[in-house]
A and B are shown apart, each in its own frame.
Chain A
Amino acid sequence: MVYPEKYKYTREHEWVEVAGNQGTIGITDYAQNSLGDIVFVDAPKVGAKVEKGAVFGSVESVKAVSDLYSPVSGTVTGVNEDLTSSPENVNTDAHSAWIIKVELNDPGELDSLLTAADYEKFIAEETGK
């Protein structure tokens, strides 16, 4: 799996794509693969505040739930409504099935996130491959 270069990543397996002051957030392919068939995505509403490192929602498969940790702090400006009827989109293409869009409070937070190369190395260590 090729992890998009232009994204930044967390150790909790979220990605964020930044354009100006807008961040788009989703979970990585590694995450969707570990979870199995995704049945439900629990996302916050537009206007909600998210905090870097804090839980902002969850992703459910049949037998497990995974909390979602925000890579950045800010305000939710968009929620992917497609995932309500088609949560499986996250399985088919995790890197384009975004979950929320956020207006960033502090773009400086991005500096401490992982690059695609760092993230690939991180999961290689995790899986012991």
Chain B
Amino acid sequence: MATTNMFTGTTRKVTAHLTQNEDLSFEKSSPGKKGYKLAPLDVPDVDAAALLEDAMREDAPTLPELSEIEIIRHFTRLSTWNYAIDLGMYPLGSCTMKYNPRVNEFVSRLEGIAEAHPYQPESLSQGALEIVKLLQDCLIEITGMDAITLQPAAGAHGEFTGILLARNYHESKGNPRKIVIIPDSAHGTNPATAASCGYQIVNLKSNAQGGVDVAALAQIVNEDTAAMMLTNPSTIGVFENEIHKIADVLHDKGALLYMDGANMNALVGKTRPGDFGVDVMHLNLHKTFSTPHGGGGPGSGPVACKRILEPFLPSPILAKGSDGLLHWNYDRPQSVGRVRMLYGNFGMFVRALAYILANGPDGLRQTTEDAVLNANYIRKKLEDVYELPYTTSSMHEVVFSDKRQTKNGIKTGDIAKRLIDYGFHPYTTSFPLIVPGALMIEPTESESREELDLFIDAMRQIAREVDENPEIVTSAPHSTRISRLDETTAARKPVLRWKAPAANDSVEIDTAAKEW
């Protein structure tokens, strides 16, 4: 720990506070405690062993036995150990950590919506189908495409679907082609997806501005190219202003332009991918359209496409029948097939639609403008202390590098950990790969000027600490329940589940743990 007369910065945003400790539910369990009561049977009881015979479960699985209050305290205490959007800003790049409106949660839990069985008669599901239709129509308008599927469960799943559409399209023309071109700045899901569709990947090195080198692209695109996967704005937050040339180069050789829609928060209401040459793209409802991140999902990854790809969309598609009702149409001979059972993450459709209705066209545009304003504000206020690897203008996110700090031996990961002590979640470190030591910051439109100023102040203080008190940065965070974790041992000797201590084991007090 640092000596007290070194600079530590002022943290106006947070104060240390007690949080409750909580063991694993298994460790608090004791036989006979109950948290449930089932209604009594109104039908004859059964002798399970007689009914199931060899299929009978001999042992009851080891699950915790706790009362209701213990369960409430257990999970409530756990929740207090998490940072969340509801607490403060997440500057994570390309994650679009915006406000998750509560009315979304309310409407998704309405009885007719939450309890709708996916196989109930269509005549009794018109409400659900109308929600699907309206969301589809809105997303088609927003993206400037012609058709859409809401089936994919998340962005990566959407990418898989999109590339599958491309592949089936090429196959219908007699040649599936072999290659997908991916910029070296791309998110890891892009190459993983292309490989899973049977394509080889050709990496395209970004140009000096961190964008697509159109001349280099023109050299490698040929009749073997199925598609290019592009994120726009790029992962360094810059709009590809030669996008029409990129689209032309690809289309000239019959290849398709796939857009990763992760960064749509910079485009909604200002421009449309369908207008600037994109053939197929996915959206992340859990990014741009406010559905909650929930600790890592669920998400939803709709895929929108141009007319030429419409016949290949996953089956079923929504259609209006001659009876005036909405129906699922399964008669789709050219469909790529299903990418999942049923219709998609319907609960997320409800939330995304509620978000669109709450905004309207003016709200959506204003949202995008505020997102870009906020990112540029941060850029302006930090560009004198952190290195900007590219001078091209940023849209909704800004990427710095740790170049000025590494001469003191401090890396982006250290700065990120120290940011925690200032009451913020870290920004995205070490991505995109084309920027060594990256600090990728996306504030979103949900941050007030006050929160932005607190963030800027924190980042400036940390830059000062790097010079005057580097030790406090490299050993951060100092204020959390636990300090940095031993990830090496976690990977070398993985322990992925709790195990009951053997009957004769005595409980060992962990003397290595610090008492307080």
Taking the closest CB of chain B, its distance from the CB of A90, in whole angstroms, is 12
Residue of B430, B487, B492 most packed against chain A (CB within 10 A): B492
Measured in the bound complex, the distance between the Cα atoms of B485 and A37 in whole Å is 14
Measured in the bound complex, the distance between the Cα atoms of B491 and A60 in whole Å is 10
The answer to the question of A39 belonging to the interface, with a C-beta cut-off of 8 Å to chain B, is yes
Q: Which of A49-69 contact B (CB under 8 A)?
A: 60-63
Measured in the bound complex, the distance between the Cα atoms of B491 and A40 in whole Å is 8
Taking the closest CB of chain A, its distance from the CB of B494, in whole angstroms, is 9
Residue of A40, A62, A88 most packed against chain B (CB within 10 A): A62
Taking the closest CB of chain B, its distance from the CB of A114, in whole angstroms, is 26
The answer to the question of A87 belonging to the interface, with a C-beta cut-off of 8 Å to chain B, is yes
Measured in the bound complex, the distance between the Cα atoms of B489 and A88 in whole Å is 10
Measured in the bound complex, the distance between the Cα atoms of B489 and A61 in whole Å is 11
Q: Which of A74-129 contact B (CB under 8 A)?
A: 87-88
Which residues of chain B have C-beta atoms less than 8 A from A39's C-beta?
A: 488, 491-492
Measured in the bound complex, the distance between the Cα atoms of B489 and A37 in whole Å is 9
Q: Which of B407-434 contact A (CB under 8 A)?
A: 430
Measured in the bound complex, the distance between the Cα atoms of B493 and A88 in whole Å is 11
Which residues of chain A have C-beta atoms less than 8 A from B491's C-beta?
A: 39-40, 60, 62
Measured in the bound complex, the distance between the Cα atoms of B411 and A63 in whole Å is 15
The majority secondary structure among interface residues of chain A is: loop
Which residues of chain B have C-beta atoms less than 8 A from A87's C-beta?
A: 492
Which residues of chain B have C-beta atoms less than 8 A from A63's C-beta?
A: 430
| A-B residue pair count with CB separations less than 8 angstroms | 14
Which residues of chain A have C-beta atoms less than 8 A from B487's C-beta?
A: 62
Q: Which of B457-516 contact A (CB under 8 A)?
A: 487-488, 491-492
Q: Report how many residues on chain B are interfacial, defined by Cβ distance under 8 Å.
A: 5
Measured in the bound complex, the distance between the Cα atoms of B430 and A60 in whole Å is 17
Taking the closest CB of chain B, its distance from the CB of A17, in whole angstroms, is 26
Measured in the bound complex, the distance between the Cα atoms of B487 and A98 in whole Å is 24
Measured in the bound complex, the distance between the Cα atoms of B494 and A39 in whole Å is 10
Which residues of chain A have C-beta atoms less than 8 A from B430's C-beta?
A: 63
Measured in the bound complex, the distance between the Cα atoms of B488 and A37 in whole Å is 6
- Nearest A residue (CB) for B430: A63
- Nearest A residue (CB) for B490: A62
- Nearest A residue (CB) for B413: A63
Measured in the bound complex, the distance between the Cα atoms of B492 and A65 in whole Å is 14
- Nearest A residue (CB) for B487: A62
In the complex, per-residue mask of A25-47: 1 if CB is within 8 Å of any chain B CB, else 0: 00000000000010110000000
Which residues of chain B have C-beta atoms less than 8 A from A37's C-beta?
A: 488
Taking the closest CB of chain A, its distance from the CB of B85, in whole angstroms, is 26
Measured in the bound complex, the distance between the Cα atoms of B490 and A40 in whole Å is 12
Which residues of chain B have C-beta atoms less than 8 A from A62's C-beta?
A: 487-488, 491
Taking the closest CB of chain B, its distance from the CB of A87, in whole angstroms, is 6
Measured in the bound complex, the distance between the Cα atoms of B430 and A40 in whole Å is 22
Taking the closest CB of chain B, its distance from the CB of A92, in whole angstroms, is 13
Measured in the bound complex, the distance between the Cα atoms of B490 and A63 in whole Å is 12
- Nearest B residue (CB) for A86: B492
- Nearest B residue (CB) for A39: B491
- Nearest B residue (CB) for A64: B430
Measured in the bound complex, the distance between the Cα atoms of B492 and A70 in whole Å is 25
Which residues of chain B have C-beta atoms less than 8 A from A60's C-beta?
A: 491
Measured in the bound complex, the distance between the Cα atoms of B492 and A61 in whole Å is 9
Measured in the bound complex, the distance between the Cα atoms of B160 and A21 in whole Å is 47
Measured in the bound complex, the distance between the Cα atoms of B412 and A63 in whole Å is 14
Taking the closest CB of chain A, its distance from the CB of B416, in whole angstroms, is 13
Taking the closest CB of chain A, its distance from the CB of B198, in whole angstroms, is 20
Measured in the bound complex, the distance between the Cα atoms of B492 and A106 in whole Å is 36
Measured in the bound complex, the distance between the Cα atoms of B430 and A67 in whole Å is 20
Which residues of chain A have C-beta atoms less than 8 A from B488's C-beta?
A: 37, 39, 61-62
Which residues of chain B have C-beta atoms less than 8 A from A88's C-beta?
A: 492
Measured in the bound complex, the distance between the Cα atoms of B488 and A63 in whole Å is 10
- Nearest B residue (CB) for A37: B488
- Nearest B residue (CB) for A60: B491
Taking the closest CB of chain A, its distance from the CB of B86, in whole angstroms, is 29
Taking the closest CB of chain A, its distance from the CB of B374, in whole angstroms, is 29
Measured in the bound complex, the distance between the Cα atoms of B493 and A62 in whole Å is 12
Taking the closest CB of chain B, its distance from the CB of A34, in whole angstroms, is 13
- Nearest B residue (CB) for A62: B487
Measured in the bound complex, the distance between the Cα atoms of B491 and A62 in whole Å is 7
- Nearest B residue (CB) for A91: B488
Measured in the bound complex, the distance between the Cα atoms of B487 and A60 in whole Å is 13
Measured in the bound complex, the distance between the Cα atoms of B484 and A62 in whole Å is 14
Taking the closest CB of chain B, its distance from the CB of A11, in whole angstroms, is 19
Measured in the bound complex, the distance between the Cα atoms of B489 and A62 in whole Å is 9
Which residues of chain B have C-beta atoms less than 8 A from A40's C-beta?
A: 491-492
Taking the closest CB of chain A, its distance from the CB of B433, in whole angstroms, is 11
Measured in the bound complex, the distance between the Cα atoms of B430 and A62 in whole Å is 14
Measured in the bound complex, the distance between the Cα atoms of B430 and A21 in whole Å is 44
Measured in the bound complex, the distance between the Cα atoms of B492 and A60 in whole Å is 10
Taking the closest CB of chain B, its distance from the CB of A39, in whole angstroms, is 4
Measured in the bound complex, the distance between the Cα atoms of B493 and A40 in whole Å is 10
Measured in the bound complex, the distance between the Cα atoms of B488 and A88 in whole Å is 10
Measured in the bound complex, the distance between the Cα atoms of B487 and A43 in whole Å is 22
A-B contact pairs, 9 of them (CB 8 A): A39-B491, A39-B492, A40-B491, A40-B492, A61-B488, A62-B487, A63-B430, A87-B492, A88-B492
Instruction: Please name 12 further chain A to chain B contacts, defined as beta carbons within 8 Å, in addition to the given A60-B491, A62-B491, sorted by A numbering.
Output: A37-B488, A39-B488, A39-B491, A39-B492, A40-B491, A40-B492, A61-B488, A62-B487, A62-B488, A63-B430, A87-B492, A88-B492
Q: Which 9 A-B pairs have the closest CB atoms?
A: A39-B491, A37-B488, A62-B487, A39-B492, A62-B491, A62-B488, A39-B488, A87-B492, A88-B492
